[in-house]
Amino acid sequence: MSRYLVTGGAGFIGSHICEELLRRGESVVAFDNFSTGLRENLEHLSGDLKVVEGDLRSLAAVEAAMRDADYVLHQGALPSVPRSVADPITSHQVNTEGTLNVLVAARDERVKRVVFASSSSVYGDTPVLPKREDMTPAPKSPYAVSKLTGEHYCRVFYEIYGVETVALRYFNVFGPRQSPHSQYAAAIAKFIRAMLDGGQITIYGDGGQTRDFTYVANVVEANLLAAAAPGAEGQVFNVACGGRISLNDVVTTLARLSGTEANVRYEPPRPGDVRDSRADVSRAAAVLGYRTLVDAETGLRLTWEWSRALGSGG
């Protein structure tokens, strides 16, 4: 049995990672300040789980949570491009300084490996598709800058201190437990909530913008592979399905699943938004052994069914 520290462990992605680790019989410490994570995301879990309330901005809190950890899966962050545009200082403090605290503590605790949750937003709005890890980053938002900075810190800590790090660039992750309630909630969660409530879906732009929507099970798998794969240390990998779907097509699919007609309102694009995104996942396949477990359309169906069962859109 290995001991895993999952930062942001009560969050959408973090709680799914905790769940899978516990299913595999591992020991898990879920670290979260519950600003966006929810205790209820962990309440159904059983096994060797310790929940620690703390803030990434406190090095002492991170060090205490990391004691005796073998691996760190660093999911903790303040998500959302629009949120970072509205409040760049807090995004920097949590995402950049918080990641630095995690790496310092990992170095001092001599953990075996740190897996860092980065983002496809680091690519910016370059027209070349698919996005490859060797492309020059061009972040368009403070959130994207914070994630790219975290990647650089990971590489530097590997090269200077010998801390094994792997950075995973997530592409538009969705699935059960993703909250639709915040004004900064992700598109699919908000769309499903609106359709369940008989409300209006808001799309910023013309809806033709495309994303490599990635069901959460694929991200969980990538994290566990990245923690163990030989030769992955010091590298960056895309995590996605390798396809793209427009927001209009997402709405059409959800309308078919619900058996109702969608009510869509279009608004001007938001600052920092990217027009098109699609990942090349060949490096992750070759080095990590990564493959898509659940395609986007199947993921939409599973997420819709989960949300409908809750009766409130998540």
Structure confidence by residue, pLDDT tens digits, 160-181: 999 999 999 999 999 999 988 8
Rounded Cα–Cα distance for residues 135 and 236 (Å): 11
User: pLDDT tens-digit profile of 236-266?
Assistant: 999 999 999 999 999 999 999 999 899 999 9
* Predicted TM-score of the model (pTM): 0.95
Rounded Cα–Cα distance for residues 81 and 255 (Å): 27
Report, as residue numbers or ranges, the catalytic residues.
Answer: 143
How is residue 93 annotated by DSSP?
Answer: I
Rounded Cα–Cα distance for residues 186 and 182 (Å): 9
* Residue-range domains of the chain with CATH: 3-172+214-242+280-293 (3.40.50.720)
Rounded Cα–Cα distance for residues 27 and 1 (Å): 7
User: pLDDT tens-digit profile of 201-244?
Assistant: 999 999 999 999 999 999 999 999 999 999 999 999 999 999 99
Locate tokens 């859109």: which residue? 313
User: pLDDT tens-digit profile of 143-153?
Assistant: 999 999 999 99
pLDDT for res 186: 87
User: Which residues share a beta bridge with 4?
Assistant: 28, 71
Taking alpha carbons only, the member of 124, 120, 2 closest to residue 70 is 2
Rounded Cα–Cα distance for residues 147 and 124 (Å): 12
Read out DSSP for 7-56? ETTTSHHHHHHHHHHHHTT-EEEEEE--SS--GGGTTT--SSEEEEE--T
